[in-house]
Amino acid sequence: MSNVMIVGATRGIGLELTKQYADEGNNVIACARDTDAAKLLDELASGSDNIKIEQLDVANPSSIEAAAGRIGDDTIDTIIIVAGAVGGDPVNQQSIDNIDIEEWHRNLDTNTIGPLLVARAFKQNLVTSGNGNLMILSSQLGASTWPMGGMYIYSTTKAAVGKVGKILSLDWAAEPITVSIMHPGWVQTDMGGPQAEITAEESASGIRNVIEGLSKEDSGNFYKWNGEIHPW
């Protein structure tokens, strides 16, 4: 049994990760930006003794610090940061001719800066584990090798958070924490749409399998949900 924190647990991949970890008997801290609107998470938690819901808005530094204060020095073995934003309409907000600058700034807070602040706030909880794992969900669209134009806001903020994860792995090289970056696949969620390639169940299961197989030597790697290394 381990202690797992899922940041962004209200739906999709985060909700499914919460379910799978709790079903196996792990203690799960399920973080939601708006706990009053987390209906599916509430329903899941009501049927489990292993799920604790915490309010945490990854785009709000004060919210992150408040959550860290409530959790205190409790050991956390694994943190998976799922929370993210898509950046708005691909044509009307993310094309070269129609860039929504305010949306870009909002997505930078959510997709890039927020994960770094979460990592900083809960570093000691992972250190206490003695074998902590921090995984940040990015996207293949954030890879320089991915041949797709457009989606400026989403792609750049996801590319930036990949670099955040890489730098953390270097800064924490002497700490008992393995940092990894994850492309969760093109997933059938509200963000990915019904035409996507894999289900949330498949993505979450793959993510868990990757984490289970990680060692300190893997810190800083960018993975696909199926365990393959994703080229940067």
pLDDT per residue over 159-214, tens digit each?
A: 999 999 999 999 999 999 999 999 998 787 666 666 767 888 999 999 999 999 99
pLDDT per residue over 20-31, tens digit each?
A: 999 999 999 999
CA 71/CA 78 separation, integer angstroms: 14
Residue 214: half-sphere exposure toward Cβ, Cα within 13 Å: 30
Query: How far apart, in Å, do the first and last CA atoms of the chain sit?
Result: 33
Q: For position 190, what pLDDT does the model report?
A: 66
CA 45/CA 32 separation, integer angstroms: 12
Q: Where are the domains of the chain?
A: 3-224
Q: Is the pTM of this model over 0.85?
A: yes
pLDDT per residue over 118-169, tens digit each?
A: 999 999 999 999 999 999 999 988 888 878 887 899 999 999 999 999 999 9
Q: For position 69, what pLDDT does the model report?
A: 98
Contacts of 25 (CB under 8 A, 6+ apart): 1, 50
Q: Tell me whether strands 94-95 and 98-99 are parallel, antiparallel or unpaired.
A: antiparallel
Of residues 55 and 151, more confidence is placed in 55
CA 60/CA 114 separation, integer angstroms: 7
Task: Return contacts of 61-68, CB within 8 angstroms, 24+ apart.
Answer: 61/117, 63/33, 64/114, 64/117, 64/118, 64/121, 65/121, 67/31, 67/121, 68/121, 68/122
Structure tokens at 68: 């860290």
DSSP 83-142: -----S-TTTTEETTEE-HHHHHHHHIIIIIHHHHHHHHTHHHHHHHSSEEEEEE--GGG
Q: Under CATH, what is the fold of the domain 3-224? A: Rossmann fold (3.40.50)
Nearest alpha-carbon partner for 129 in 26, 7, 23: 26
